Amino acid sequence: MQLNILQEIINLKNSKKEFSVITDTKTSKTYIFFANKPIDINLKSFETEINKLYNSRKDGMIKDSDLFIKHYHRPIKVVIVGAVHISQYFVEYAKPLNLDINIIDPRGYFASEKRFPNVRIINLWPQEAFQHCPLDDKTALIALTHDPKIDDPAIHEALKLKCFYIGALGSKKTHENRCKRLMENGFKEDDIKKIFGPIGIKFGGRSAPEIALSIIFQLMTEIYKK
């Protein structure tokens, strides 16, 4: 690898930029790829496949080429509303994954450093918390309090800002009532359908660790769809 390319990669990683490194395995020539920026002319014929791999976050050989692509993405931002038992298991299971987890809960006796070590905790109501932890279309919002006073404002904000994943805890009946409240607050049916409720993939598990695992499976599936 050329020294100037290596230095650029180091600088980009230190500044937390998102990019990919593409290496020609035959010539050892290296290219740096950025989404939504002009691609090197030597890579032009593979642009569609490169973008597909970049969005899927999958490293590997580019189809029908001698090119290997390695991605450098920032951690996916996950905002969990509700410092409940499920959240504790979620944080534990998510340790090996590239996730930036934030816990929001105004109830300080739940959202404590003792229960969530080494995790960012914001002891505020969602409306206030989002001033310190803003949402966007690259954020996943997970609402777990089962309390509309806390969950609903968070879901409102997530829908408005088009979070790529929105999930909410509760039974089918609870979710039906949630959807009615959302429609009463002016949200369209097409937007409401984007909410995963009840949250998590369905495999029959009902305990806190099982639900946490089902949420992670569902979330990771959505991440790799992006």
- Among 104, 142, 148, which Cα is nearest to 126's? 104
- 28, 86: one domain: no
pTM beyond 0.85 = no
Q: 52, 72, 92 — which closes off a domain?
A: 72
Percent of the chain with pLDDT over 70: 99
Q: ω into residue 198 within 30 of 0, thus cis?
A: yes
More confident residue, 224 or 217: 217
Q: How confident is the model at residue 1 (pLDDT cuts 50, 70, 90)?
A: low
- 139, 119: one domain: yes
Q: 72, 96, 117 — which closes off a domain?
A: 72
Q: Tell me: the pLDDT tens digits for 160-215?
A: 999 999 999 999 999 999 999 999 999 999 999 999 999 999 887 789 999 999 99
Q: What is the CATH number of the domain that holds 204?
A: 3.40.50.720
| SS3 (DSSP) at 103 | strand
Give the structural domain span for 29: 3-72
- Total domain count for the chain? 2
- 99, 68: one domain: no
- 126, 191: one domain: yes
Whether the Cβ atoms of residue 151 and residue 174 lie closer than 8 Å to each other: no
- Among 84, 54, 89, 88, which Cα is nearest to 69's? 54
Q: What is the pLDDT of residue 204?
A: 76
Give the mean model confidence (pLDDT) for residues 52-79. 92
Q: How confident is the model at residue 224 (pLDDT cuts 50, 70, 90)?
A: confident
Q: What is the pLDDT of residue 226?
A: 64
- 128, 198: one domain: yes
- 124, 28: one domain: no
- 190, 126: one domain: yes
Cα separation, 102 vs 120, whole angstroms: 5
Q: 50, 72, 94 — which closes off a domain?
A: 72
Cα separation, 139 vs 159, whole angstroms: 11
- 184, 151: one domain: yes
Q: Tell me: the pLDDT tens digits for 134-145?
A: 999 999 999 999
| SS3 (DSSP) at 109 | coil
Residue 111 is encoded by which pair of tokens? Answer: 């959202």
